Amino acid sequence: MEYKNLEELYGIASKCERCALQKTRTNVVPGDGNKNAQIMFIGEGPGKNEDIQGIPFVGAAGRILDEMLALVNLDRQDVYIANVVKCRPPENRDPEPEEVKACWPYLKEQVRLINPQIIITLGRHAMYRFLPSDLKISTARGKVYRYKSIVDETKHQIYLPLYHPAVALYNPNQKKTLFEDFKKIPKILKKINNEIS
Ligand code: URA
**CA distances for 16 relative to 34, 173, 195, angstroms:** 23, 39, 39
Q: Are the beta carbons of 186 and 180 closer than 8 angstroms? A: no
Residue 44 CA: nearest ligand 1 atom is: 3
**Reported pTM:** 0.97
Distance 131 CA to ligand 1 centre (A): 19
Distance 29 CA to ligand 1 centre (A): 10
Q: Determine how many CB atoms are found less than 10 A away from the CB of residue 6.
A: 18
| Structure confidence at residue 197 as a pLDDT band (50, 70, 90) | confident
- Kindly report, residue by residue over 126-165, the tens digit of the pLDDT: 999 999 999 999 999 999 999 999 999 999 999 999 999 9
**CA distances for 121 relative to 11, 15, 21, 100, 140, angstroms:** 25, 26, 22, 15, 11
Tell me how far apart the alpha carbons of residues 60 and 83 are, in angstroms, rounded to a whole number: 16
Number of residues written out for the chain? 197
- Kindly report, residue by residue over 59-76, the tens digit of the pLDDT: 999 999 999 999 999 999
